[in-house]
Structure 1
Amino acid sequence: MSDASPRPEPFTPHTDPAVLEDLRTRLRATRWPDAPEDAGWSLGTDIAYLRELIAYWADGFDWPAQEAALARLPRFRVPLGGLGIHFVHARAVAPTGPVLPLILSHGWPDSFWRYTKVVPLLTDPGAHGADPADAFDVVVPDMPGFGYSDRPAGPLLDTIAVAGLWAELMSVLGYERFGAAGGDMGSHVSRYLALEHPERVVAVHRTDAGLPVFTGDPAELTPEERAWFESVAVWGRAEGAYGAMQSTKPQTAAVGLTDSPAGLAAWIVEKLRSWSDCDGDIERAFTKDEILTNVTLYWLTGTIGSSMRVYNANAAIPAEQRTRRVEVPSGFSIFRGDVVRPPRAWLDRTTNAVRVTEPPRGGHFAPFEEPELYAEEVRAFFRPFRAAATAAAAASG
């Protein structure tokens, strides 16, 4: 790293108690909507469950304890592209073979929070019953406008631009060859890293393939692919209202969600429930403390509006970018409880898919829902690429 390179600085936030007292005051003053009897989750967030959650947030949730737990991860901020970027950088512990750098990209509605459980499993596999030779150096950045990264004040950044920032971040950290992995919006970031920097990304692992975009002759699609397209359309009509709002008018929703912690929780909790492998019971996938840690990160950083604007930026990505085939070796772990699960034919059409598995548990937030299972999927996928990547890095160095 040259003297002119950006220098990461250690980062440990501490929340002013007055900010937490303001939050509790707002929670206790929530103006509740009515709801039809027995509506449950059928019309969106279950108001009865939300009341229970908000009461706990106001008078039971211990944010300082959660903040201290997050502080046990080695966290930094660095200036990139005119923005301060927050990231976790955890190095391999007691490796017995070549160490592969790995950048993990999160999605919405989350942040580095998505990967907090898997960082120790990937950096120190030997301490968790796995092979120490599978250790990674792990980098988990917050996308601009998410978590503790800066909120862009100028032009909106799409996932292509974020991939460019992550390539720069890995250079700043001294990693010229690395693996990339992600889910949700982070799946797109990882894909564009592989497309724009194929000489640097040794392999890419994803937990989904996103919503399908196809500009060819529909007759070319397999029956399996056509059925999947139809199921995605059905899902979009039932579940896609949030995406339409965030892609077109994110600022309208941002006003209420930034002002009302109860509204913010409703917006996020409904997605945590419907996208996770919980069979309708959100607390089978997340405890109240886990849910509220994610939501409180959004509240304290004021990033719900900026996070939603990425949808608007991504909506402008042209089809020719969305349909480029990824030639970098790609792996997919399509977890049982995830949404819009793609068929193998689509993965082969759009990527150089060298490994596709279907883990029996876990949903859209698999690294948090099933961290051990997710970590094993990542270790197994990258194992064949580890030595080649580190040898190439040594030769180029």
Structure 2
Amino acid sequence: MKPFSMEIPQADLDDLHARLDATRWPSEIPGADGWSHGVPLAYLKELAAAWRALDWRAMEARLNAFPQFLTEIDGHDVHFLHVRSDNPEATALILTHGWPNSFVEFADEIAHLTPRFHVVVPSLPGFGFSQAPKEAGFDAARVAGMWAELMDRLGYDRYLAQGGDFGAYVAPALAEAAPGRVIGVHLDGGIGFPTADDVPDMEPDELAEWEQMQVWMSAGLNHHAILGKAPSTFAAAWHDSPTGLLAWMIHKFKEFTISAETPEQVIDRDLLLVNVALYWFTGGTASTSWVFDYVREGRAMAWPSGQRDAPTGVYGGGSAFVRRRAERDNDIVHWPTDNAFSGHFVAMEQPAAHAADIAAFADKL
């Protein structure tokens, strides 16, 4: 375990500023209305100016207030936050972020968690300051094995696992990788979604809900196809242009943030920009694409698989229809229907409510 502190070289900051200053702005597209053609040009210019004016050193200090470390696991350097609680009865909790996010996802939530939990936040391989995969074949199960080793090294015999987005794949896999140690799995959502195989047995109201799901899932820009088929093609552009990277990532955050017109209305704008900056400084546009390898390998997308090694709780459970299917493969003990409404990244939009829900789930274990 080596203590770690973020310190981006000044030359890298100067280079970023020069590139932002030299942005070649495209022309407006005739007929573009709002987000009909992607990120509105005026909005993108506003965000780019905010990024240029961002006090990076102040944001570094804000994040460096969390104890951070590097350790080698499975041949890869893993970066993680480890924030211990002052509560002698605290339970350990490991949080796994998603894409296109980073450990920054939990920056505003940690203070709400530490009265109850010792908090561990690792960066996925290739994300932030964790070393990128050295070979093909990484998946949620392999990451879960790394997380089990990390928690063992930290001395935690029993702990909760939490995740959203790709973290919702890792957390159940961690329960399977460390049976008897993971005492509960808390997810933001993503379990119980029906598939085409369920259609013949659906009631009329369930079929209507299924059809609505298909509309929702087919909307937006298909990042799975883009990064699953040709990550090198797009990384070449995003790695060279910070404005291009900003446009891509804010487009995805816009799609994921269904609770507001634009992401910064419900998420700290500085944290949004810091997250983009981490991808820029660490080359994350290429190194994070492994999570979509299944597309190139010809495998179909699948929702997180169920597990019964530990009880499961969900922040945004969904309908009774979805819960019934979730219960086929999971021991569901927590399925609230009245939590504060949120988009994809609940920890950023509703940090206090998200932390309270994790604690409520823990109370049921």
- The two structures share one fold, judged by TM-score above 0.5: yes
Stretch moving more, 102-111 or 283-292: 283-292
- Contact 2:103–2:122 (CA<8 Å) still a contact in 1? yes
Measured after TM superposition, the shift of residue 315 of structure 1 is 7.0
State the distance in 1 between where 2:152 and 2:328 align. Answer: 31
- Contact 2:224–2:295 (CA<8 Å) still a contact in 1? no
Shift of the 38–218 alpha-carbon distance from structure 1 to 2, 3 Å rule, reads closer
Aligned residues with identical type, % of pairs: 36
Q: Which residue of 1 aligns with 2:66?
A: 73
Q: Which residue of 1 aligns with 2:273?
A: 292
- Contact 1:208–1:341 (CA<8 Å) still a contact in 2? no
- Contact 1:274–1:280 (CA<8 Å) still a contact in 2? no
Measured after TM superposition, the shift of residue 215 of structure 1 is 7.4
Are 1:49 and 2:53 an aligned pair?
no
Matches within 5 A, 1:254-333: 254-313=235-294, 324-327=305-308, 328-333=310-315
Q: Which residue of 2 aligns with 1:100?
A: 91
- Contact 1:111–1:142 (CA<8 Å) still a contact in 2? yes
State the distance in 2 between where 1:24 and 1:320 align. Answer: 38
- Contact 1:335–1:361 (CA<8 Å) still a contact in 2? no
Measured after TM superposition, the shift of residue 211 of structure 1 is 9.0
Q: Which residue of 1 aligns with 2:111?
A: 120
Q: Which residue of 1 aligns with 2:326?
A: 347
Matches within 5 A, 1:375-390: 375-385=355-365
- Residues 233-253 of structure 1 deviation map (CA, whole Å, 9 limit, x = unaligned): 222322252121112222211
> Number of matched residues?
362
- Residues 3-24 of structure 1 deviation map (CA, whole Å, 9 limit, x = unaligned): xxxxx11100211111111001
Measured after TM superposition, the shift of residue 355 of structure 1 is 1.1
Q: Which of 19, 22, 25 does residue 26 from structure 1 map onto?
A: 19
Shift of the 341–113 alpha-carbon distance from structure 1 to 2, 3 Å rule, reads farther
Q: Which residue of 2 aligns with 1:5?
A: none
Matches within 5 A, 1:1-397: 8-36=1-29, 37-58=31-52, 60-95=53-88, 97=89, 99-124=90-115, 135-209=116-190, 212=193, 214=195, 216=197, 218-221=199-202, 223=204, 225-313=206-294, 324-327=305-308, 328-334=310-316, 343-358=322-337, 359-385=339-365
Stretch moving more, 76-85 or 319-328: 319-328
State the distance in 1 between where 2:316 and 2:298 align. Answer: 25
State the distance in 2 between where 1:322 and 1:223 align. Answer: 23
State the distance in 1 between where 2:125 and 2:304 align. Answer: 24
- Aligned partner letter, 1:289: D
- Contact 2:340–2:350 (CA<8 Å) still a contact in 1? no
Counterpart secondary structure, 2:364: helix
State the distance in 1 between where 2:255 and 2:317 align. Answer: 14
State the distance in 1 between where 2:296 and 2:192 align. Answer: 12
Stretch moving more, 192-201 or 81-90: 192-201
Counterpart secondary structure, 1:104: strand
- Residues 245-296 of structure 1 deviation map (CA, whole Å, 9 limit, x = unaligned): 1122222111111111011111111122221244213321124322211111
Cα RMSD (Å): 2.6
Query: Structure 1 length normalisation: TM-score?
Result: 0.84
Ranges in structure 2 where 5+ consecutive residues have no aligned partner = none
Counterpart secondary structure, 2:125: coil
Query: Structure 2 length normalisation: TM-score?
Result: 0.91
